[in-house]
Every structure is written in structure tokens, then in C-alpha cells.
């Protein structure tokens, strides 16, 4: 299956403004692109690039004063199959974890697992360690949080999401990650493209999606507490400790986002 993926972000800047963008398809899937996801800027602006500490590809620029459009449009190959989870995957003892996993056991800006430690063990301590425990966490979070775009908050932590019982996909991911870390399961936040392939209409407006990966025996496994069902066509963009590490745009000055469009659509081939 082929997917057309892309975005258009329209900003209004009252003055020249530095930006960091994290919008390219993750390096682990670049080889599956039929058309590169080149970033386009209108008006044209010089862009430099670097890799952050988690291996994500980042773009750096200074947006000029006035209206600026940032966009990309590409085609990527996908299996077309629903995601699979190894339900028999076990939990890896902390002392046997690879060193690169250890940072994903620690509390972070939005995944304040230290505040949820006792609650996590009360809720999930009786569940079989490994994939069953992570799935139990996803089931709980899926039921605990009511999804509403109007409830989005850029400052809400995992513990606040638990108390308030509302939020958007990043809040589902943050709470599940925090519970996993409290249970000694490494978990990392993922920003992705995710369309509606294989789901019934009506379809919501396109957007980027948050999910997370948990480290179990055999490696990292993707989980999605927001949807909590296997999905088709998830395309990874970036990974980090939480949303602060993988913001799609970070601006260093005043601005107004005046237009936002994201697409992840199946390409129907004749």
C-alpha cells in the first residue's frame, strides 16, 4: 500500500523568528519513501539540519517577518496490514536493560512517573509483567481520559491528565508512558503520521498523532492508548522522552498559527 503524507503549516510572524522543526519521516522509514518529504518554505528561507540526541532529524531556520508557509508532500510504502503486538513479550529486568533504554525509565517534563508510582503499583501490580501489563495500562488510560480537541493543553502533565480525565492523544501517551516507567518498563514518546485507513467514517480532520513504544523482551513495541486498537499506516516521525523532545515546531518569538493541515491518505492505484 502507498500513502500520501504531508502537511501545510501557515504562520504569521511579527518579526524574524528562529525555529526548530521536527517534521521529516524518521530515518528508520526513509528507505520506504517513493518521493522524498522535502520541506518547502514560502517565501524561500535557508534551512540547516542536524540530528538531536535521540537520532531525530531536525531543521533549523529563521522565519522572516510576515506570512510563512511550511509544507511537504510525499509518498511512502506501507505493508497495509494492521499493527501487531507480541502479547507474549516479557518484561526485561532493569539490571539487564541496554544502557540506551535507561533514560526512558526516568521521570521527565510531562511524564512525571514519580508522582504516579504508588498508584501505578496499586492499579497494575497484579497484572502479568510484560506485554499484558502494558496493555492493561493502555486499556486503563483509554477509559480514563475523554478525548476532546478543545481540551488540548501544552502544559498538562501525566499526573494532571489522570486527575482531570481529559485531553488529546499526547495526554494519553504521556499517562501511559508515566505508568510504564513507574512499573520499571522503559517507554518513549512517538510523534507519527496516522490516517484513517481501515476505520469507518466519518473521519476527523487530519493531524499528527502521539503514541509510545515500550521496551520488552525482543525490543521496542508500539502501543496506542488513544485508539487502543491495531491501526494501519502509522508512519514514525520522531521519538523522545515526551512531547517536549519531539515538538513538530519550536518557535523562539511571538507568532500566530493561522493555518494547519495534515494528511495521511491511501493512494488508490489504477
Residue 201's pLDDT is: 84
pLDDT of 269 > 80? The answer is no
Residue whose entry in the numeric block shows the C-alpha cell 514519580: 114
Helices and strands (H and E) in the chain: how many: 4, 15
Residue 204's pLDDT is: 85
- Confidence grade of residue 225 (pLDDT, cut at 50, 70, 90): very high
Q: Which DSSP string corresponds to 61-108?
A: EEEPSEEEEEEEEEEEE---SPP---TTPPPPPGGGS-GGGGGGGS--
Q: Which domains does the chain have, with CATH numbers?
A: 2-79+248-266 (2.60.40.2250), 94-245 (3.10.620.30)
Mean pLDDT of 205-216: 95
Give Cβ neighbours of residue 4 (< 8 Å, ≥ 6 apart): 73, 74, 75, 263, 264, 265, 266, 267
| Separation of alpha carbons 137 and 127, rounded Å | 10
Containing H/E element for 34?
Answer: strand 33-35
pTM for this one? 0.95
**Does residue 31 register a pLDDT over 70?**
yes
Between strands 146-147 and 166-167, the pairing is: parallel
Q: Collapsing DSSP states into helix, strand and coil, what is residue 201? A: coil
CB atoms within 10 A of CB 94: 12
Work out the angle between the directed axes of helices 131-144 and 117-124 (0-180°, nearest 10).
110
CA angle 109, 110, 115 (to 5 degrees): 90
- pLDDT tens-place string over residues 231-255: 999 999 999 999 999 999 999 999 9
Cell of 231: 491501526
CA 242, 74, 6, 254 dihedral sign is: positive
Mean pLDDT of the chain: 96
Q: Which of 122-136, 199-213, 254-268 has the lowest mean pLDDT?
A: 199-213
Q: Once rounded to an integer, what is the mean pLDDT over residues 189-214?
A: 93
pLDDT digits (tens, 9 = 90+) for 143-169: 999 998 888 899 999 999 999 999 999
Residue 88 has pLDDT above 90, yes or no: yes
Amino acid at each position: 500500500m502507498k500513502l500520501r503524507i504531508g502537511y501545510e503549516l501557515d504562520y504569521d510572524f511579527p518579526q524574524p523568528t528562529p525555529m526548530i522543526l521536527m517534521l521529516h519521516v524518521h530515518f528508520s522509514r526513509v528507505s520506504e519513501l517513493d518521493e522524498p518529504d522535502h520541506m518547502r518554505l514560502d517565501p524561500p528561507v535557508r534551512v540547516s539540519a542536524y540530528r538531536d540526541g535521540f537520532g531525530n532529524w531536525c531543521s533549523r531556520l529563521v522565519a522572516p517577518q510576515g506570512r510563512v508557509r511550511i509544507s511537504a508532500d510525499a509518498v511512502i510504502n506501507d505493508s497495509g496490514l494492521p499493527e501487531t503486538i507480541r502479547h507474549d513479550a516479557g518484561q526485561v529486568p532493569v539490571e539487564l536493560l541496554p544502557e540506551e533504554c535507561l533514560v526512558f525509565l526516568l521521570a521527565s517534563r510531562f511524564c512525571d512517573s514519580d508522582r504516579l508510582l504508588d498508584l501505578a503499583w496499586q492499579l497494575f501490580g497484579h497484572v502479568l509483567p510484560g506485554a499484558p501489563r502494558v496493555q492493561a495500562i493502555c486499556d486503563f488510560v483509554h477509559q480514563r481520559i475523554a478525548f476532546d480537541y478543545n481540551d488540548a493543553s501544552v502544559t498538562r502533565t501525566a499526573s494532571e491528565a489522570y486527575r482531570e480525565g481529559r485531553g488529546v492523544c499526547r495526554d494519553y501517551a504521556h499517562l501511559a508512558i508515566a505508568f510504564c516507567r513507574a512499573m520499571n518498563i522503559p517507554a518513549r514518546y512517538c510523534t507519527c503520521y496516522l490516517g484513517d485507513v481501515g476505520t469507518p467514517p466519518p473521519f476527523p480532520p487530519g493531524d499528527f498523532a502521539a503514541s509510545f513504544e515500550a521496551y520488552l523482551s525482543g525490543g521496542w513495541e508500539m502501543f496506542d492508548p488513544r485508539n487502543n486498537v491495531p491501526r494501519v499506516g502509522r508512519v514514525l516521525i520522531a521519538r523522545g522522552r515526551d512531547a517536549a523532545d519531539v515538538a513538530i515546531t519550536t518557535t523562539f518569538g511571538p507568532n500566530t498559527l493561522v493555518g494547519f493541515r495534515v494528511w495521511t491518505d491511501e493512494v488508490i492505484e489504477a
